[in-house]
Structure 1
Amino acid sequence: MTTQTESDLSSIVESASPKRHSKLRYVAIAVLLIAAVAGWYFWSQKSQTREVGPTYQTAPLSKGSISLTVTATGNLEPTNEVTVGSELSGTTEEVYVDTNDEVVKGQPLAKLDPTNLEQRIRSSKATVKSARARVVQAQATLKETEAALERMKELRQLSNGRLPSQAEYDSAVAAADRARADLEVAEAAVGEAEATVQINESDLSKMVIKSPIDGVVLTRAIEPGQTVAASFQAPELFVIAENLQNMKLLVTVAEADIGRLDKGQKAAFNVDAWPGRRYTAEVIKVAFGSTVTDNVVTYETELSVSNEDLSLRPGMTATADIQVASAENVFLVSNAALRFDPKAAAAAVAPKDKGSLMQNLQPMGRRFWDRDDMAGKGEDGPGQGLGRIWVLKDGQPQELQVKVGLTDGARTEVSSPDLQEGMPIILHLQQ
């Protein structure tokens, strides 16, 4: 019985031995495959790192000038513009000037038909003569009544008051008073008639419309034969601009920019009529009063403009750049240099399969939490007025803290004791 049992065990062991050797072979093959894959992975990563190194685009640090400007749009206007009208109604007889004509102060511009007014003058002069005749008549009447009153006074003295009667004496006194009043009325009528003559003669001189200033005729709104009605409001017949060699530019400035503007600041502007030309101007007035249009608050600003060649015309639309701050001979860098971040740039151009073999085998969710640059762990940004740029030194970016100054949207003023002209400033990482 024992001999049979030992024989069975021996047969079982012999039958199991080939199976165990087969499993060992499979394990060895699997280990070799894993080692081969790992070796290939590390070789490819090393080769890729060796072949694709970081390349930075740089620009040499240089000095220059920079200015901060406020842009505003407005229209050109004459420094002094006068609207010429007529105080009188009438029919236009002649027009002596046209638009663009240069005129001097007192020069006739147009003439109204004076026929009716001349007739009124003749009539008023006749009224003066009639009033003067009534004055002479009143003087004679007064003289007569005063003489009669004197005789009654003498008679009263001679008769010891018995003659004339009191009623007759009072009547003589009243007659003298009435004659004296009639004379004053006649004299006043003469003055009124003479004043009417003067008014009519003054109106006659106004029938010729004259220029009140030296300047240029901008508009003309009257033609010969046209009726001018000045009953309620003086009609606008001419618009004259004074000295177009000096003009003003009225621009509207936004509420956010008005605090930067001040009298005396320089500006440059262009107009559509001369797109390749820049004109200079100077701020002469910044309004305190605001204008609200569609809930947008703006302030009117006046600039003086020289127009010696008369290339600018009233009403032209101009876009002005007002220089509110400037700096000379300062270090300037491209705004791209202030935005450059080596970590972000490297992450943007890094291969997607970069990392260890185990990291590549891990699920994406677990790998996310292993990142060094995850949100919340980055460095705080520079404070207000401070920034950082990166200098390429020995092939590697080196951080440099700088103080930020003026910017024009493309370049920014920077300052630091460590800055040197010609330093290679990194703009971005080339892919």
Structure 2
Amino acid sequence: MTPPEPTRPVPPTPPTPNPAPAAQQLLLGLPQARRWWQSRWLWLGLLLLALVALALWFWSAAQQRQAAPVFVTEPLARGNLVLNVTANGTLQPLRAVNIGSELSGTVRAVHVDINDTVRRGQVLVELDTERLQDQVRHGRAAVLAAQAQVAQAKASVRETEASVRETQAQLQRLQEVARLSGGKVPSAAELDTARAAFERTQAVLERMRANVNSAQAAVEQAQANLSSHETNLSKAAIRAPIDGVVLVRSVDPGNAVAASLQAVTLLQLAQDLRQLELQVSVDEADIGVVRAGQPASFTVSSQPGRRFAGSVSRVAFGATRTDNVVTYSTTIRVDNADLSLRPGMTATASIVAVERQGVLRVPNAALRFMPTAATTAPAGGGVLASLLPRLPQQPPRVARMDPRPGLRQLWVLQDGQPVALQVSTGISDGRHTEVSGEDVVEGMAVIVEQRRAGQVP
């Protein structure tokens, strides 16, 4: 028995397109076919593409903003500038005297101590005087002996003068007799003998007078020795040469003092501690602007919160070289009425060398600023920036530097771009510098720093 053949499915008959026009379909109420631009998916796709393009544009703009540099500026303003010269030194009294001893001996007494106020002529130290007193007594005895020799010589002169007169009278009598006798008597031998006796007594008289002069010279010598011994005796009491205060005492009773070629320092006196002077060493690079009469101020370690005032009184011409560093000694007069300062303190002084009022000034960072390469060509970023053409970037205008000294380059911000200006610089206080020039105008935006977008200052 033959199985029945399977039944094949009949494919559906495709709809026959309606040849009727759209107007007939509309009259008959038949559904109309949509146009391609009326597709809902088409407009959704276009909207999605527009959103993606807008997001890319915003992202590219943000990338460019991040790549563009940010300039930190400060307005060019007027102000005061003070050029200070800093130097270190020590405080010293106006006049300090080292008191020593010209004599050797043993200290018998010391009448002053440190910080004592003394007057001129006051006895400060006494040496033992027994040996000196013996020398004085010996000198006085020598003077008396010399004076006795003078008296003896003078007596001899008077005796010799009498002999001279006697021999002279005898010679004159013989000469008169010879004249009256016509030369018969006395004999020539007698006249010669009388004449020789007279000349001999005259010679003795001259010798006696010389002895008197020698004795008088011996008296003067003895008196000079006595005066020297008395001077030494007076120097055994060491007195104050000035009014002042005792700063240093290096002697005690019983100490032996040996004075040789150099006097031994026993005490040190300061004339007046209410007036001090600060000796500072100014570097050779700064000494050209330091003058006498300039105001100054300084600080000391003992009172760090207080500044003391002073004025420059002297600038030395002689230089001091220490480890190949040349400095010049400068003296600052200091008023110490309250005695808060003491000699020997180390101080740091600041001398007002030059002062300018109401000048144009810029921060020192502005003179050191130089724009980087990112300024001249901002970095492009993003897909849109790589696809779209860019406008050509203009590099910043750079001024050609003049080789003359004192000319610097300053960068200002104009229309969002850095522009270089050539300026003349003046004094600087370490933070600001005086500037001037034809193109320099007050209020200009001076660039002091360049940062990246989003960089935290």
Measured against the shorter chain, the TM-score band is 0.7 to 0.9
Name the counterpart of 1:275. Answer: 304
Determine if the alignment matches structure 1 residue 225 to structure 2 residue 248: no
Bigger drift between 223-232 and 169-178 goes to 169-178
Bigger drift between 300-309 and 59-68 goes to 59-68
1:48-197 matches, within 5 Å, as 48-49=63-64, 56-59=71-74, 62-160=77-175, 162=190, 164-197=193-226
Name the counterpart of 1:413. Answer: 434
1:311 and 1:349 mapped to 2: Cα distance? 63
2:329 and 2:383 mapped to 1: Cα distance? 60
1:353-392 matches, within 5 Å, as 357=386, 379-380=398-399, 383=402, 384-391=406-413
Name the counterpart of 1:319. Answer: 348
Q: CA RMSD in A?
A: 3.7
Task: List gaps (5 residues or longer) in structure 2.
Answer: 1-51, 176-185
1:326 and 1:353 mapped to 2: Cα distance? 55
Taking only the aligned residue pairs, the percentage that are identical comes to 41
Q: CA deviation at 1:332?
A: 3.6
Q: In the alignment, is the contact (CA less than 8 A) between 2:56 and 2:383 conserved in 1? A: no
Judged with a 3 Å threshold, the aligned counterparts in structure 2 of structure 1 residues 101 and 192 are, in CA distance, closer, same or farther, namely same
Q: In the alignment, is the contact (CA less than 8 A) between 1:111 and 1:207 conserved in 2? A: yes
Name the counterpart of 2:35. Answer: none
1:80-128 deviation digits (Å, cap 9, x = unpaired): 2222222222211111112222222212111111111111111211222
1:39 and 1:211 mapped to 2: Cα distance? 99
Name the counterpart of 1:5. Answer: none
Q: In the alignment, is the contact (CA less than 8 A) between 1:142 and 1:180 conserved in 2? A: yes
Judged with a 3 Å threshold, the aligned counterparts in structure 2 of structure 1 residues 54 and 386 are, in CA distance, closer, same or farther, namely closer
1:191-244 deviation digits (Å, cap 9, x = unpaired): 222222222222222111111112222212221111222232222222212212
Determine if the alignment matches structure 1 residue 306 to structure 2 residue 350: no
Name the counterpart of 1:31. Answer: none
Name the counterpart of 1:33. Answer: none
Q: In the alignment, is the contact (CA less than 8 A) between 1:41 and 1:357 conserved in 2? A: no
Judged with a 3 Å threshold, the aligned counterparts in structure 2 of structure 1 residues 306 and 352 are, in CA distance, closer, same or farther, namely farther
1:334-353 matches, within 5 Å, as 334-340=363-369, 344=373, 346=375
* Structure 1 residue identity aligned to 2:427: L
Q: In the alignment, is the contact (CA less than 8 A) between 2:125 and 2:237 conserved in 1? A: yes
TM-score scaled by structure 1?
0.76
Judged with a 3 Å threshold, the aligned counterparts in structure 2 of structure 1 residues 152 and 96 are, in CA distance, closer, same or farther, namely same
2:426 and 2:383 mapped to 1: Cα distance? 40
- How many residue pairs get aligned? The number is 381
Name the counterpart of 1:262. Answer: 291
Q: Secondary structure of the residue that 1:244 maps to in structure 2?
A: coil
* Structure 2 residue identity aligned to 1:302: T
Q: In the alignment, is the contact (CA less than 8 A) between 1:83 and 1:238 conserved in 2? A: yes
Name the counterpart of 2:236. Answer: 207
2:381 and 2:270 mapped to 1: Cα distance? 72
1:290 and 1:189 mapped to 2: Cα distance? 54
* Structure 1 residue identity aligned to 2:226: V
Bigger drift between 341-350 and 321-330 goes to 341-350
Q: CA deviation at 1:418?
A: 6.6
2:146 and 2:384 mapped to 1: Cα distance? 122
1:260 and 1:345 mapped to 2: Cα distance? 42
Q: Secondary structure of the residue that 2:274 maps to in structure 1?
A: strand
1:12-66 deviation digits (Å, cap 9, x = unpaired): xxxxxxxxxxxxxxxxxxxxxxxxx999976642343367876554445544322
Q: In the alignment, is the contact (CA less than 8 A) between 2:60 and 2:385 conserved in 1? A: no
Judged with a 3 Å threshold, the aligned counterparts in structure 2 of structure 1 residues 51 and 125 are, in CA distance, closer, same or farther, namely closer
Bigger drift between 337-346 and 242-251 goes to 337-346
* Structure 2 residue identity aligned to 1:411: H
Name the counterpart of 1:18. Answer: none
2:57 and 2:141 mapped to 1: Cα distance? 127
Q: In the alignment, is the contact (CA less than 8 A) between 1:112 and 1:208 conserved in 2? A: yes
1:274-328 deviation digits (Å, cap 9, x = unpaired): 2222122222222222222222222222222222222222222222222221212
* Structure 2 residue identity aligned to 1:379: V
Name the counterpart of 1:428. Answer: 449
Task: List gaps (5 residues or longer) in structure 1.
Answer: 1-36, 360-369
Judged with a 3 Å threshold, the aligned counterparts in structure 2 of structure 1 residues 344 and 68 are, in CA distance, closer, same or farther, namely farther
Bigger drift between 56-65 and 327-336 goes to 56-65
Name the counterpart of 2:36. Answer: none
Q: CA deviation at 1:151?
A: 1.6
1:17-32 matches, within 5 Å, as none
Q: Secondary structure of the residue that 2:99 maps to in structure 1?
A: strand
1:362-401 deviation digits (Å, cap 9, x = unpaired): xxxxxxxx9976xxx97245544354343587xx357584
Q: Secondary structure of the residue that 2:211 maps to in structure 1?
A: helix
Q: In the alignment, is the contact (CA less than 8 A) between 2:310 and 2:334 conserved in 1? A: yes
TM-score scaled by structure 2?
0.72
